[in-house]
Amino acid sequence: MKAVALIAGATAIATTLSFPAFAQTEITTGANISGVSDVNDRLDDVQDAVEDDFARSNDADRFGPNDRRQGLFGGVSLTYAGSTGNDEGQDFALAARMAYNQGRFAQSVGLGIEYGEDDDGDKDKEEVYAIYDAQYYFNDRFYAFALGRINNDGMVQDDLDDYADGTLSADDIDDLPGRKKRDAFLGFGPGYRVINTPDTTWRVQAGIGVRYTKMVDMDEPDYLKSETETGYILSSRVYHRINENLFITNDTDYLTSDSAGDEITNELGMNVKMSDTLATRVSLSTDYQENREIRTDNTLGVSLVYGF
What share of the chain in percent tops pLDDT 70? 88
- Identity of residue 76: V
Residue pair 80/92 in contact (Cβ under 8 Å)? The answer is yes
CA torsion, ordered 174, 177, 179, 181, to nearest 10 deg: 120
Q: Which tens digit of pLDDT belongs to each residue from 80-114? A: 888 888 878 888 999 999 999 998 899 999 999 99
Residue pair 188/207 in contact (Cβ under 8 Å)? The answer is yes
Residue 65: predicted pLDDT: 64
Q: Is pLDDT above 90 for 7?
A: no
Residue pair 138/183 in contact (Cβ under 8 Å)? The answer is no
CA 221/CA 224 separation, integer angstroms? 8
Mean pLDDT, to the nearest integer, of 280-304? 89
Residue 60: predicted pLDDT: 64
φ/ψ of residue 53, rounded to 5 = -60, -45
Q: Is pLDDT above 90 for 183?
A: no
Regarding pTM above 0.75, the answer is no
Residue 25: predicted pLDDT: 65
Q: Which tens digit of pLDDT belongs to each residue from 222-233? A: 888 888 889 888
Residue 27: predicted pLDDT: 72
φ/ψ of residue 164, rounded to 5 = -65, -30
Q: Which tens digit of pLDDT belongs to each residue from 18-70? A: 444 455 567 776 777 777 888 888 888 788 888 877 777 777 667 666 667 88
Residue 189: predicted pLDDT: 95
Please give the residue that has the higher pLDDT: either 141 or 259. Answer: 141
Residue 19: predicted pLDDT: 44
Domains in the chain (CATH in brackets) are 3-19+30-306 (2.40.160)
Residue 14: predicted pLDDT: 37
CA 116/CA 81 separation, integer angstroms? 9
**Cα Dmax for the chain:** 65
Residue pair 4/263 in contact (Cβ under 8 Å)? The answer is yes
Q: Which tens digit of pLDDT belongs to each residue from 106-149? A: 999 999 999 998 888 888 889 999 999 999 999 888 999 998 88
Is 292 exposed, middle or buried (CB count within 10 Å of its CB: 0-12, 13-18, 19+)? exposed
| Cα three-residue angle 23-56-105, rounded to 5 degrees | 95
Q: Which tens digit of pLDDT belongs to each residue from 193-219? A: 999 888 999 999 999 999 888 888 888
Residue 202: predicted pLDDT: 93
Residue pair 232/205 in contact (Cβ under 8 Å)? The answer is no
- Give 286's Cβ-side CA count (13 Å radius): 11
> In the chain, helix, strand, coil percent, each to 5?
15, 55, 30
**Three-class SS of residue 174?**
helix
**Three-class SS of residue 299?**
strand
**Three-class SS of residue 187?**
strand
| Cα three-residue angle 131-134-135, rounded to 5 degrees | 150
Residue pair 260/3 in contact (Cβ under 8 Å)? The answer is yes
Residue 22: predicted pLDDT: 52
